[in-house]
Amino acid sequence: MKKLLVMMAVLYSGIVGAQPFSAYTTVRQEFYVFDNGAMIKLEGFLPTEYKVGRSAVAYLDNQRVFKVFRDGASTVVNDQFTSDFDVSDNLVLYRSANAISVIDGSDVVLLSRLCDRYALGDSVVLFYDLNRQSFNGYYNGKITEMEGFLNIGANDFKFDSTVKASDNIGAYINFNDQFKVFYNHTVEALESQAPKEFQVGRNTVGYIDINNIFKIYHKGHVYTMDPFRPRSFMVGDDVVAYVGNDGYFKIFYDGNLYTIGYYEPKYKVADRIVAFADPNGFFKVFHEGEQTVLDNYYPEKIQAGYNSVAYVNKANVLRMFSKGKVYDVTTMSLYDMRLDYDVLQYKVGFNAFKMFYNGEYY
């Protein structure tokens, strides 16, 4: 019994502290994945396509066999039947003919046998089932019917314009122009008329209503932020950055509002990160309520996602902000770089791939 409890504790700690993945192909067309500090060769031939999630790497191999790498092993999902697939933090979604399914943890869930449109978040999927003629939301193992009706037209439920999903939430405009949110298995009407614009992030929806009032839905509450349309806004995970009609740059984070200054900066929101130029032109990041200075200028090219930002500065230093800390990773000339969640992958030679994660080199 003690041995069983110890094994369960070890497995649980491994899942909780699971390190994000990265993946790459070599000049020899071999396919490698970075997993928990190890470079693992998955395929000897170039995959047709691959995508990196936080808990899995999904790919079509050279013969278009669909496979998923997780928990240290690559598993065949199906053989030459997958036409499309996508990954997020917790889900792998794939299409076989007209059917869509998700791999959620150890479960494979068939969402619809006939589906022509869907939106994927980290743990939520919004989709239209043609057989049942219903619009549905999937979250945490459960499918919820959100709208049921006889038929829809080509202009109804245009995904990426009238339907958006992100992380654990989805928002959509239904066929009666009502604006609704799907959150924690519950559908809630936010507005009786369609908003002029909206964006979604974890626990959060930012939108401009029919009267040009700027509002934020966050964890079940609607906040009226500005009686006038903002000049711009971007939504991330529990965070919304915007330039108000009054000219002030502000950041809403987890129910609190931070006024940065009276100016209209360059800025970018990605997951939990807001990267922006401060009133003096300095490059800063806002992360979990804290501001950190990275440089004395705002770089033209940055990569941002999850808890991290990476860029090459004027001194040719690859600099990275991650989870509140700043790292000067390398001064070597780079062939390429990419950010997979908080894993920084960079190429310093013709075929030399390196990884940097959580302050450690691999």
How is 51-101 classified by DSSP, letter by letter? EE-SS-EEEE-TT-EEEEEETTEEEEEEES-EEEEEE-SSEEEEEETTEEE
Mean pLDDT, residues 92-98 taken together: 94
Q: How far apart are CA 301 and CA 142, in angstroms?
A: 40
Are 261 and 244 spatial neighbours (Cβ–Cβ below 8 Å)?
no
Per-residue confidence (pLDDT) for residue 152, from 0 to 100: 61
The helix (H) or strand (E) run that includes residue 353 is: strand 353-357
| Interior angle at CA 246, CA 242 and CA 252, nearest 5 | 30
Instruction: State yes or no: pLDDT of 173 exceeds 70.
Output: yes
Q: Rg (Cα) of the chain, in Å, rounded? A: 22
Q: What contacts 3, CB < 8 A, 6 or more positions away?
A: none
Please, which pLDDT band fits residue 158 given cuts at 50, 70 and 90?
A: confident
Helix intervals (H) in the chain: 2-16
Are 206 and 216 spatial neighbours (Cβ–Cβ below 8 Å)?
yes
Q: Please, what's the b/e burial string for 222-260 (b: 16 or more CB within 10 A of its CB; e: otherwise)? A: beebbeebbeebbbbbbbbbbbbeeebbbbbbeeeeeeb
Instruction: State yes or no: pLDDT of 27 exceeds 50.
Output: yes
Instruction: State yes or no: pLDDT of 13 exceeds 60.
Output: no
Mean pLDDT, residues 220-230 taken together: 97
Per-residue confidence (pLDDT) for residue 249, from 0 to 100: 98
Mean per-residue pLDDT over the chain, rounded: 91
Q: What contacts 256, CB < 8 A, 6 or more positions away?
A: 289
Length of the chain: 362
pLDDT in tens, 177-186: 999 999 999 9
Please, which pLDDT band fits residue 18 given cuts at 50, 70 and 90?
A: low
Q: How far is CA 204 from the centre of its chain?
A: 13
Instruction: State yes or no: pLDDT of 224 exceeds 90.
Output: yes
Q: What contacts 14, CB < 8 A, 6 or more positions away?
A: none
pLDDT in tens, 244-275: 999 999 999 999 999 999 999 999 999 999 99
Per-residue confidence (pLDDT) for residue 156, from 0 to 100: 65
Neighbours of 32 (CB within 10 A): 17
Per-residue confidence (pLDDT) for residue 16, from 0 to 100: 39
Instruction: State yes or no: pLDDT of 205 exceeds 70.
Output: yes
Q: List the 134-139 sheet strands across, edge first.
A: 115-120, 124-129, 134-139, 142-148
Instruction: State yes or no: pLDDT of 9 exceeds 50.
Output: no
Per-residue confidence (pLDDT) for residue 153, from 0 to 100: 58
pLDDT in tens, 28-38: 999 999 998 89
User: What pTM does this model have?
Assistant: 0.90
Domain positions in the chain? 21-84, 88-193, 195-264, 270-362
Per-residue confidence (pLDDT) for residue 199, from 0 to 100: 98
Per-residue confidence (pLDDT) for residue 151, from 0 to 100: 61
Please, which pLDDT band fits residue 148 given cuts at 50, 70 and 90?
A: confident
Per-residue confidence (pLDDT) for residue 154, from 0 to 100: 54
Mean pLDDT, residues 125-149 taken together: 93
When comparing pLDDT for 298 and 10, which is higher?
298
What phi and psi, each to the nearest 5 degrees, are found at residue 100?
-120, 140
pLDDT in tens, 293-341: 999 999 999 999 999 999 999 999 999 999 999 999 999 999 999 999 9
Which residue reads 């790459």 in tokens? 24
Per-residue confidence (pLDDT) for residue 3, from 0 to 100: 33
Where is average pLDDT lowest: 17-21, 26-30, 218-222? Answer: 17-21
What phi and psi, each to the nearest 5 degrees, are found at residue 79?
-110, 100
Q: What percent of the chain has pLDDT over 90?
A: 85
Instruction: State yes or no: pLDDT of 1 exceeds 60.
Output: no
DSSP annotation of 159: B
When comparing pLDDT for 93 and 17, which is higher?
93
Query: Euclidean distance between the first and final Cα of the chain, in Å?
Result: 37
Please, which pLDDT band fits residue 5 given cuts at 50, 70 and 90?
A: very low
Are 196 and 210 spatial neighbours (Cβ–Cβ below 8 Å)?
yes
Any idea which fold 88-193 has?
Answer: Lipocalin (2.40.128)
Strand 239-243 versus strand 248-253 pairing type: antiparallel
Mean pLDDT, residues 341-350 taken together: 93
Strand 336-340 versus strand 142-148 pairing type: unpaired
What phi and psi, each to the nearest 5 degrees, are found at residue 237?
-85, 105
Per-residue confidence (pLDDT) for residue 19, from 0 to 100: 59
